Amino acid sequence: MINLTTLNNGVRIVTEHVPHVESVALGVWVGAGAKNEEPSEHGMSHFLEHMLFKGTARRSARDIADEIASVGGQINAATDREYTTYYARVLKEFLPLAFDVLSDMLLNSAFDPVELEREKDVVTDEIRRHQDIPEDHVHDILTQVTWGEHQLGHSVIGTEETVRAATSGSLRGYRDVHYAPGRLVISAAGNLDHSQLVDLAAAALGSLDGSAPPAEYPPVAHIPARRLVNKDTEAAYFCIGAPGYSGHDQRRYTLAVLDAILGGGMSSRLFQEIREKRGLAYDIGSYRVCFREGGMFAVYGGTGVETLGEVLSLVRDELRRVSAEDVPEAEFRRAQTLIRGSILLAHEAMGSRMSRMAKSLLDFERLVPLEEVLQSVQDVTPSDVRTAATELLCEESLSMAVIGPAAEMEGVMAA
């Protein structure tokens, strides 16, 4: 059973009681992420997430880790473009401890200058390592070249310059502005009592006040541009981007089915044609991202420098084919079943249930029933998929990012 309570100051507490488990997944969700940052603040959400683990007035960084680990629990955090989450998983009897630790981090982080400088080194190393992994970094390059100066266009992790410029005061100020009560969702799933978590939240967070600035940004424009990043690699790593749908567009379910058909797993067209049939790539697939301001559909992969041109040609062939003809019924139903299975299998994990409720409230201001999502996927038709493919996947709309030895790929990029 799912319960939702809103405190007088706007903090929302949502829980799902699952009696047959012995654990609880607890998350403190903030409706602020990388897209809320000003240009001088790029990476601030991510760096703030790091700093909240570095100690409070009551706990050292070691205490934060030890208190959860000592009861067999886990604690972590994540930052995305639209939200930041701090979460823990513990046995049911330790829910008050987990909430106390997370709320203490949220409210009372010390932002110690010594810890701050040390963590700048950590995050700077994280940025450099990310850039050294081309199969990861190419996705950021695609986003930057496709979305340009839009708030969604910059990397969540930020840059060395913006991270180095952060101060205890700027981090505290960013938290005070963006971690307003109306943007906070306390979400938990597992063997717990809703009223207990409401009481804990009211005691710790009920006195919070203030309101965050409006987080309304213009629709993101898709720029069909190309960028080649020169890197001395044995392979070439590519990402092709097409326009997508926003997270509030019902056609996002159509795009999910199209994604499953083209690159969603080992039975997908791209995997079967490029990896299994021809052996041209170890890693090949697709994905879609849907934000409030717009979205993107992307195909990614890695292949030998000498076979990049052939692989890109095969990808374009598959994009044209799915636009030119309806997907056969059996293949179409298999894609729908794949999506249904991934949703329901994820739903068996308490962390997934906790995350789904929080994202639902932050994205839609309501709890979207799981049955509604499954039915929306089931309602998609082969004609819907073909229409979406025709609209989104035309050659002149595609953007592309490639990482590899430039001298050997200039001709491929120009093709």
Catalytic residue set: 49
For 83, 196, 288, the CA distances from 24, given in Å and listed in that order, are 21, 13, 30
Burial of 39-75, coded b for 16+ CB within 10 Å and e otherwise, reads: eebbbbbbbbbbbbbbbbeebebeebeebbeeeebeb
Q: Are strands 235-243 and 399-404 parallel, antiparallel or unpaired?
A: antiparallel
Q: How far apart are CA 123 and CA 165, in angstroms?
A: 12
Q: How far apart are CA 255 and CA 63, in angstroms?
A: 45
| Residue pair 166/47 in contact by the 8 Å Cβ criterion | yes
Q: Going by C-beta distance under 8 Å and a sequence separation of 6 or more, which residues neighbour residue 235?
A: 134, 302, 303, 304, 305, 404
Quick one: how far is CA 398 from the chain centroid? Answer: 22
CA dihedral 54, 57, 58, 61 (to 10 degrees): 10
| Burial of residue 113 (number of CB atoms within 10 Å: 0-12, 13-18, 19+) | exposed
The count of C-alpha atoms lying within 13 angstroms of the C-alpha of 18, restricted to the half-sphere facing its C-beta, is: 20
Q: Would you put residue 228 in left (φ > 0), alpha (ψ -120 to 50) or beta?
A: beta
